[in-house]
Chains A and B, each alone.
Chain A
């Protein structure tokens, strides 16, 4: 296992370096830089531009340096926890993003847990009670969940909460806690608000997971070893849990890597609708205004989550299912 872990980390480190390079190239791709956009904006508004000051800022922010120098400085800063400088906010990126990165991670992980907790029993029930009335009902609800865009569900919930309870369910905490230090009260407020974005963001993923688990488990349940076990009189629960359920768990684990970026990028519009202090809306603004270090930091954060998710899923798969694939496998 140590050899496997070392191999995986050795793949992960260059992957992150490659992603950081690609991210830096992408955020530099639009013509010009933030200062040029800023000057153009001032000129469009008919305001005067102090070109000496612009030249000074370009030198101060290192925008006049070669691409590779800028990249090396950025990556080394990332390693030290320095995310760079936000031109738009005129503040270090660390100060601008504040708690957004952690709140995004919290919403994402809570959504994944919600997805699994809801999808797992429903998927198993649907597969073991195929074509029953409950299976049809759950399938119908699942399709509704798949077909409903997240932002629409958010709008519906906002409307219903306003009409029924006369309250707004937007935000991730009470307003008095925004930009305040972390306290137990703030944590409780976040937990009290968390369920709405989790349900809104997690619904489609849950529905999809139910469909996949149901299909995988149905495939396993129809295999010969299950029929043999049933014929030999194995108790149904033991027969279900011992092999078919374990085999159908693989997609759950394999999905961890792709789930995180899907949730984060898919939640951007929901975050706008629900006024969530997560990374999505700020990333959109940063990309639009060419605030390169702010945008780059968010993109690297998402890449890190993706790579870590894939690493966790690979390690779990190696522990849970260390089987060879018989077709054309080569053992060193």
Chain B
């Protein structure tokens, strides 16, 4: 069994982004008077940054276990306690029905960015970012599962797999 975690530097950078966003949105909200429109816009943005911050904290704690049989994520990283939506999730390789690999870039020429792998078995779904250590190994395993289960891959997913050096033989996973 392999255990994967999100890169600490990346988690810290995302936390800084969330804090900066909250400062830029919630800060002016405290100084504004009764300007309803501005309050609503800034409030929505502040909630977005807050949600991102909370998700980043969870990512910092998250452990991803990869075994021969499947993949499971533990958002609390083995810590005690349970909150709605934070229970560990497991997806067996043989049950995989959906595999998607998306690329996000802030640059117009898409020269730099990160990937997001989404896996689903029809009941549960998991999303993992490329800042997770050993991300490529998980993608390789997911691509093999997709091929074994005859899961249809989108054109974008195929191109992104190819970008990671993972080639899907013609005729497979069409």
Judge: A and B partners, yes or no.
yes
Docked complex Cα distance between A189 and B48 (Å): 40
Q: Are A6 and B35 within 8 A (Cβ)?
A: no
Kindly identify which residue among B18, B51, B106 contacts A11, using a CB–CB cutoff of 8 Å.
Answer: B106
Q: Are B114 and A324 within 8 A (Cβ)?
A: no
Residue A147 CB within 8 A of the other chain = no
Residue A231 CB within 8 A of the other chain = no
- Chain B residues whose CB sits within 8 angstroms of the CB of A324 once the complex forms: 103, 110, 113, 115, 159-160, 163
Residue B75 CB within 8 A of the other chain = no
Kindly identify which residue among B31, B106, B130, B159 contacts A331, using a CB–CB cutoff of 8 Å.
Answer: B130
Counting chain B residues whose Cβ lies within 8 A of the other chain, the interface size class is: 35 or more
- For window 295-327 of A, CB contacts with B under 8 Å fall at 318, 321-326
- Chain A residues whose CB sits within 8 angstroms of the CB of B24 once the complex forms: 13-14
- Chain A residues whose CB sits within 8 angstroms of the CB of B162 once the complex forms: 326
Residue A81 CB within 8 A of the other chain = yes
Counting chain A residues whose Cβ lies within 8 A of the other chain, the interface size class is: 20 to 34
Would you give the shortest CB distance from A330 to chain B, in whole angstroms?
A: 5
Residue B111 CB within 8 A of the other chain = yes
Q: Are A331 and B115 within 8 A (Cβ)?
A: yes
- Chain B residues whose CB sits within 8 angstroms of the CB of A1 once the complex forms: 102, 104, 116
Residue B28 CB within 8 A of the other chain = yes
- For window 64-101 of B, CB contacts with A under 8 Å fall at none
- Chain A residues whose CB sits within 8 angstroms of the CB of B35 once the complex forms: 79-81
Residue A328 CB within 8 A of the other chain = yes
Q: Are B113 and A331 within 8 A (Cβ)?
A: yes
Q: Are B109 and A6 within 8 A (Cβ)?
A: no
- Chain A residues whose CB sits within 8 angstroms of the CB of B10 once the complex forms: 332
A interface residues (Cβ-Cβ under 8 A, vs B): 1-11, 13-14, 76, 79-81, 243, 318, 321-326, 328-332
B interface residues (Cβ-Cβ under 8 A, vs A): 10, 14, 17-18, 20-21, 24-25, 28, 31-33, 35, 37-38, 45, 48-49, 51-52, 55, 102-104, 106, 109-116, 129-131, 155-156, 159-160, 162-164
